[in-house]
Structure 1
Amino acid sequence: MNKKLYKTIGRPFINLPSTQKNKFNNKQRNVGEIEMSSAAHMIGITGICPEGSLIFCGKHNKAFPIIRQLVRMSARPFVLLGTRRDLSEESCLRLLNIEWEDEIPKHNLPEGNGILVLKPGGETNLMLKDCLVNWDSHFIIMCVGNGLQVDQEILNLLNGVGNYMLLTEMLYRSVKATDGIQLTPEDLLSSMDYILVSSIGTAGKELIKVLPDYEYEKITNTTDVSLHRDEPHEYKDGRHHRNGGGVRFSQSKSLESRCIFSQDDLVKMQDSNSMLIYNARYAHTWVAKIVG
């Protein structure tokens, strides 16, 4: 049998009945799969880099291999921000190579890798807003949702620096409104170059609004049964009824726009220990299993 050396464009004039595998829809979704990969391999495939804005939704231990690799890739030292709840002595994040530690944000950060254990509150927020603009010398890794939050002003300052990563175990707790300006989880996700999700909980609907759509082929199958009974007719051997029936199968197809993932899909990924990676710069999406 001859193999096709090219791909046809458009939809075929005649389609065979679609199966449950639904190859057309899977192709349209265009979601890559990365099986049992190291963090370094996954980052290489997906194009993530520390010179951009990144958010990780999920437990810190799931993020740790990725953070470790991004720190290795960065030309800058890192500064790790969080509350005592985020950065306790038992935190896996303390396994990073930390050279200094402080509890008060400074305008000019010390050289080398450091950690800031901050006290939640309005005073800390004001100090952060005053200092963040000067922190472009470091790769900023900020834990939010356990006392620290992001508002529109802090987000603008972080985007001005450019090289940062947000870690959140609870997305809804990570944003707040100030001066009447509401920052929503959708706004936060929409401003990211890269989104990584190992678990997102009830904020899954916010993520779905940000992820790409695709043209979903909807299949409708119908079955018609018809029966008929005629008046009797005279034959030489007696009376005879022309009775009969028939069954007709038909299928119709239509296209509708859907998100590449549903909330059920996100729950299944979490249960199977899979991670969603979305590169917003190129609108490409992968599902990966990270080991190590």
Structure 2
Amino acid sequence: MKQTIEIKIPADLSLSSTVRNMAVTVFTSAGFSKEWCNRLKLVVDELFMNAVQYGSTYGVSVVQISFAFDAKTFECCVEDDGTGTIKVSPKALKEMLLDEKITPNPTQTSGRGLSVIAHLWTDHIDIKKSALGGIMITFVKTIESQDPPTPVPHTPLNALVNLERKKEPTTPPLASPSKPSLSPPVTTVKLNGEIDAETMDATIHTMEDHIHQLSSGSTLVLDFKNVDYINSTFIGYLAAWHNEIISKSVHLQIKNVNVAVRDVLDLVGLSNVLDVQ
């Protein structure tokens, strides 16, 4: 017998955490493993964020989220009323998502959320006109009671550099005496909690303050020890900061990443580009 749950949420991004928590409760009740709950809550978060930002009047509209599941299959539907400033037809949105799926770019700073996540972590996604007046996006997923395989760790960029250095002669050529050089400066930024629409502005402000002060040859370390969640907007900023930092000859390192966050970075390909530990 199929169980159904329908929730109506004000179009307010400060409620993103509430939406994720409710979604995890439903996913757990349906029988998904912990890691699959972590993955699917990101899908729901993306759908809710898109509905609020593009399909609704902020603080006025209501976003409708419905869940339906039986012993084998789970279905989630997110609908908006279409009163947002950006008007996109279901057909156009389908084409946009397909294009982003086919031509992914790990250092792209936008467009990485809904397309990649929905296509890789769901079995099927459908987009059509909503009875509310906007767009209805539905994803279907077979219920997975076992955790997905642990993401294969990618070789960090500094390890690749070290491998290249091992090929160099062990005895350096003679050189004239010089003053000992100072170690390049290292700046560590500790991030905390859930980085989502509600906390994004403060996080961006902190990060950009540090980035503007970086000097050539220095290292910026982002400590994710206390980070529980990141959304696609923050992933986009990571890509943008990577591009900016590279242009300044600064090394970016991300350390103490938990399994759930690493899973997302692997999915979008950033762990192939960034030094993630």
* Structures share fold, TM-score greater than 0.5: no
Normalising by structure 1, report the TM-score: 0.24
Larger of the two Rg values belongs to structure: 1
Higher strand share: 1
Higher helix share: 2
Normalising by structure 2, report the TM-score: 0.25
